[in-house]
Amino acid sequence: MNRRTFVKSSLLAAVSLAAGKNAVAAETPAAPPTAKEQVPKGKLCGKEVSRLLLGGNLLTHFTHSRDLRYVYNLTAHYNTDAKILETLAVAEEHGVNTLVIHTVPRALSVLKEHRRRGGKMKWIICPTATPGTDEYTQMVKQLVDDGTDFIYLWGVQADKLAAQDKADVIAKAVETAKDHEVPCGVGAHDLKVIELCEEKKIPADFYIKTFHHHNYKTGPKPEQLQAPHSEIPGYWCKDPQRTIEVMKDVKKPWIAFKVMAAGAIPPENAFKYVFENGADFSLAGMFDFEIEPDVRIANKTLAAIKNRARPWYG
């Protein structure tokens, strides 16, 4: 064999070997993606809802960061429309199948784009128009037309209505959603909202109520607790022990929110506190990189709960 024949034979052998490797690669199925840890589900008005829900404030950039004003701008720069779509996808991969958000047109456009791409995230949305007005009714109708799964009365509005003993307006807001054939809840920062709804037998399907302890460094001081609820900065559950006592007798699903007091309470501590003390679902504002560890923490927490005073409603 001369040099030319040797080189030609070597090249043909190399090509044949490469082709054989490619054939083997083509016949070998790709390894399946690693299964993501899934958060457990409950039932809300007959629909399957994850025990851990995605909070909407980070997605709408309405972050609660006390006097750290730069955090609002930082969140807006990080959570672009593309990043929000990525966050929704990551949440669904881990079984977080429902979010709670208030009506912000740009955010709703992103949610609709997520569904257009095949996303199945359920929406619990509160109208921001004034309850009892034609504008409120029109906003409810638009949200339903857009595909909203659940409506709820915004806690900011419910607090004001309860302070004025306007149970009839709260009831009208609930009826407006039900007239459009969607389940309706009532949100609240102030416990008086829940007490009023229960007393007047307002037919809310569920409650979204703030819930966290005060055992953190920036928690409210005793003198602050004497001020009206709306005047106290930096926390959102004025009387957690009273909340436990009232909610223990409420036979409707309870979604707890502000559970980490805007990041002041670690999720390990927050989830344990709210689930052990009666909440059926926990809302959590999460950036995309926080979802996996928070799901893992929620799963561990839920698995460890054997007995609690309040039955599961959901």
**177 falls within a domain:** yes
Q: How far is CA 296 from the centre of its chain?
A: 16
Residue 22: its pLDDT value, please? 42
Name residue 101's beta-bridge partners: 125
Query: Which of 26-35, 136-145, 256-265 is predicted least confidently?
Result: 26-35
Q: What is the pLDDT of residue 46?
A: 94
Q: Which of 75-79, 124-128, 309-313 has the lowest mean pLDDT?
A: 75-79
Q: What is the mean pLDDT of residues 181-202?
A: 96
Residue recorded with tokens 């921001």: 128
Is the pLDDT reported for residue 97 higher than 70? yes
Using CB atoms within 10 Å of the CB of residue 9, give its burial: 0 to 12 exposed, 13 to 18 middle, 19+ buried: exposed
pLDDT digits (tens, 9 = 90+) for 36-85: 889 999 999 999 999 999 998 777 767 777 677 787 788 888 889 999 99
**What pLDDT score was predicted for residue 307?**
84
**Containing structural domain, residue 118:** 49-304
Does a structural domain hold residue 314? no
Percent of the chain with pLDDT over 70: 84
163 lies in a domain? yes
Q: What is the CATH number of the domain that holds 117?
A: 3.20.20.100
- Report the pLDDT averaged over residues 85-104: 94
Of the candidate ranges 10-19, 164-173, 174-183, 196-205, the one whose mean pLDDT is the lowest: 10-19
**Of 15-19, 50-54, 214-218, minimum mean pLDDT range:** 15-19
pLDDT of residue 27: 42
Average pLDDT score over residue span 277-296: 96
The pLDDT of residue 302: 97
- pLDDT recorded at residue 9: 46
35 lies in some domain: no
Residue 229 lies in a domain: yes
pLDDT band at 160 (very low <50, low <70, confident <90, very high): very high
Confidence band, pLDDT 50/70/90 cuts, at residue 231: low
Q: What is the predicted pLDDT for the residue at 56? A: 82
- Tallying the residues shown for the chain, one arrives at 314
Residue 309 lies in a domain: no
- Total count of domains within the chain: 1
Is 14 a member of any domain? no
Residue 229, pLDDT score? 61
Return the amino acid letter for 270.
A
Least trusted range by pLDDT, from 178-182, 223-227, 280-284 = 223-227
| pLDDT given for residue 74 in this prediction | 85
On whether residue 21 sits in a domain, the answer given is no
Give the count of beta carbons closer than 10 Å to the beta carbon of residue 216.
18
